[in-house]
Structure 1
Amino acid sequence: MKRIDLNLLVSLEALLVERNVTRAAARLYMSQPALSAQLNRLRDLFKDPLLVPAHRGMVPTAKALELIEPIRASLDQIRGTLQSHDSFSPATAELTISIACTDYVEAVVVAPLIVALREKAPNIRLAVHRFAPARLAQQLGDDDVDLAIATPDAGQAHLRTRHLFEESYILIGRPGHPRIAEGATAAGFALLEQVIVSPSGGVFSTPVDVTLEALGLSRVTVASAASFLVVPSIVASSDLVALVPRRLMRDRLADVAWIDVPWLPERFQVELIWHERTYGHRGQQWIRDLIHDLVAR
C-alpha cells in the first residue's frame, strides 16, 4: 500500500476512459510527459502494460478491463464523501439536459420524465436526440449529448451505465383477430402475416428470425416499418400482427388483441449510459436518479 499514490488511480481511470494520453492529460490538467511517467509507474505497479497502442489512440489490456470497475467504484466512494456537502435544488435549477434515445424509449421513459420535470424542476429543459449507436461514444465524449437511454454496447466499457429494466415482447393484432392465438407457438407464429420494425430502414430480418431458423421455421414478413410507434395503427386496420415491446403497450392493451409469446427468449436490456465528464455534476446525477426512480415505479 505504501507504493500506491491515490493520484495514480485517478490517472489510470482517466486513461482508461479517454484511451489517449494527450486527452487524459488535458482532463487531469497535467502535462503529457507527467502523465506518461505515471502510466509507467502504473505498469510497474500492476505488472501489466494496461494500455497498448492501436490504430487510433490506445486500447486497454484484459487486465485493465478487469481493473476499471473496482477502481472506479473505490474512487466514486471517495468522491461521494468529499462532495456530500454539495447541494442541488431542482426547484430553482436552470439547465438543459440532452438525451439520446430511440422513439420507443422516448415514448416509455422520456415522456413521463418531461411530465415529472414540470412538477419537480420547471426550469430544466430536455433536448431529445435520435439514438445513433455508432456515434454514441463520440457524442457523449464531445458533449453533444449528456445521457443516452439504450441497450449498452459491450465494446463501450469505458462509458458509465446504470440498469433501468429488461424488456420483453408481446404479439399484438387488431381487436378480434381470428388467428392471433396461434402465435403462442413458434410454428403458429411463423404462419401469421407480420410487420416488423427496422430502425435503420428496409431490413426484413431481426434476431427473432434467427430463433425461428434454429427451429427450422421462417415467418411471413410483409412490411418493414421504421418505428414501433406506427405499428399499432398498422395492425389495427389489417390482419397483420407484430411483436412490440411490452412497455410500449402498457397503457394501450385494451385497444388491441395481444398474447404472450412463451417460446421466444428474446429480451433486451435498457440502461442509462453517460460519459465520465458528467459523473460529478449534481444536476446530471439528479436527472439520472429521477429517471431510475420513475422507471422503478
Structure 2
Amino acid sequence: MADMNPLRKFDLNLLVVFETLIVERHVTRTAERLYLSQPAVSHALRRLREALDDPLLVKTERGMQPTPRALELLPGVQQALKLIDRTLTPPPAFDPATSRRRFVIATNDYFEELLYPGFLASVQPRAPHLEFAIEVISQSVLCKGLENREVDLVVGLEADTELPSTLMSEPWIREELVCLVARSNRVVGDSLSLEDFVRQPQIGLSQVGAGNPEWVDQWLSAQGLERRLLSRSLNYMAAARTVALTDAVLTLPRELAMLFCTLLPLRLVQPPAGMPRPEMTLVHHPLYERDGAIRWLRAELQDCAQNMTGS
C-alpha cells in the first residue's frame, strides 16, 4: 500500500529553501539570504524537484522563473512557515505590572496568617492586575493539582514531608519554635524544662494534608516521651485563642507567636533545650520549571521570607 502521508519522506528543512528560491528566483541570492553555499542551495533545489516532481524554477530569457506548480505551492508554504515560526517563538516574558494572571497557592495557616497579608501589600502596587487564591494543602494537590496546573505552588510544607518523586522543592523558611501561654498563667514561668514541658496540658496542631506528626511530637517520640494533649486544633489562630483562655501551652514558630502576642493576652515562653527548628519549603512541578510567572512568584515569596527573618 502506498504511503498516504507525504511528510514521512519530505525534509521540512527544504521548505525554507523553496520559499526563498521562489521569491528570489536566483540561486546565488538565495544562498546569501540563507547563509548557505551555492552548491548547497543547488543540491536542495534538486531534492525539491525530485520530491515535488516539478522543475519549480526554469531558465528563461527573463532569468529563472517559477513554474505554475511552484507559484501554486508558494502561499501555502509561506503560511506554514509563519505558523511554525509563531509556534516555536518563545512566549513573551512575564510582566507582573501588566499581567492579569490568577495564581493559586496551596498553603497552611502559618503563611496565610503571618506572611500573606504583607506579601499582598508588597505585590499589589507593582502588579495591580494579578489575582491570588489560597487552597489547603492536600494529598490531591501534591499528587494531581500541581501537575494539572490547578495549583501553581505549595508554600510552607515541612521539609521532611514525603513528596511524590515528580515534584521539586526548595528551602524557604527555617524558624525556631517557642511556647505560648496565657498572660494569666501563673504555673509556667519564662522557660520550660523538658520535664515540665511534658507535664503541662498542651494544644497540638492537626497536620491537615501533610501526613506527618507535628514537629514537637516527632522530637519527643525520638526521646521516648509523649506530651499531655488537651486538644488538637486545625489552625494556629484557634489554638492560640484556646491557650489565651486556659492554662495550656502551645508550641509554634517564633514569628507567628509574636504576632499572636499582639492580638491576644498571651506571652512567650522559652521552650526546652534542643527543640527542633523546622524548615518549610516551596514545592512546584518540573513541568512548569521554565514558566516565568511561577519563577517570579517563587522569587517574591523567597524575598518575603528573607525580609521577615532577616537572613
TM-score interval, normalised by the smaller of the two chains: 0.5 to 0.7
Q: Could you tell me the TM-score, scaled by structure 1's length?
A: 0.64
How far the C-alpha of 1:213 sits from its partner, in A, is 4.8
In 2 relative to 1, CA 155–130 (structure 1 residues): closer, same or farther, beyond 3 Å?
closer
Letter of the 1:296 partner, please give it. Answer: Q
Identical aligned residues as a percent: 21
**Moved beyond 6 Å, runs of 4+:** none
Letter of the 2:203 partner, please give it. Answer: V
In 2 relative to 1, CA 133–267 (structure 1 residues): closer, same or farther, beyond 3 Å?
farther
Letter of the 1:165 partner, please give it. Answer: I
1:112 paired residue number: 118
Q: Residue by residue, what CA displacement relative to the aligned partner does 1:189-219 show, whole Å, maximum 9, x if unpaired?
A: 1121111111349x9x745345435545443
How far the C-alpha of 1:280 sits from its partner, in A, is 1.6
Aligned partners of 2:175 and 2:254 also within 8 Å = yes
How far the C-alpha of 1:267 sits from its partner, in A, is 2.9
Letter of the 2:280 partner, please give it. Answer: V
How far the C-alpha of 1:154 sits from its partner, in A, is 4.3
In 2 relative to 1, CA 133–182 (structure 1 residues): closer, same or farther, beyond 3 Å?
farther
Letter of the 1:101 partner, please give it. Answer: T
2:201 paired residue number: 193
Give the secondary-structure state (helix, strand or coil) at the position aligned to 1:88: coil
Aligned partners of 1:182 and 1:189 also within 8 Å = no
2:30 paired residue number: none
1:87 to 79, 83, 93: 93
Q: Could you tell me the TM-score, scaled by structure 2's length?
A: 0.61
Alignment of 1:1-297 (within 5 A): 87-133=93-139, 135-149=141-155, 150-152=157-159, 153-181=161-189, 184-200=192-208, 206-215=214-223, 217-254=225-262, 255-297=265-307
1-structure distance, mates of 2:191, 2:233: 20
Aligned Cα RMSD in Å? 2.8
Letter of the 2:195 partner, please give it. Answer: A
In 2 relative to 1, CA 211–238 (structure 1 residues): closer, same or farther, beyond 3 Å?
same
1:10 paired residue number: none
In 2 relative to 1, CA 222–111 (structure 1 residues): closer, same or farther, beyond 3 Å?
same
Number of residues paired by the alignment? 213
| Structure 2 spans left out of the alignment, 5+ residues | 1-88
How far the C-alpha of 1:95 sits from its partner, in A, is 0.5
Instruction: Indicate the structure (1 or 2) with the bigger Cα radius of gyration.
Output: 2
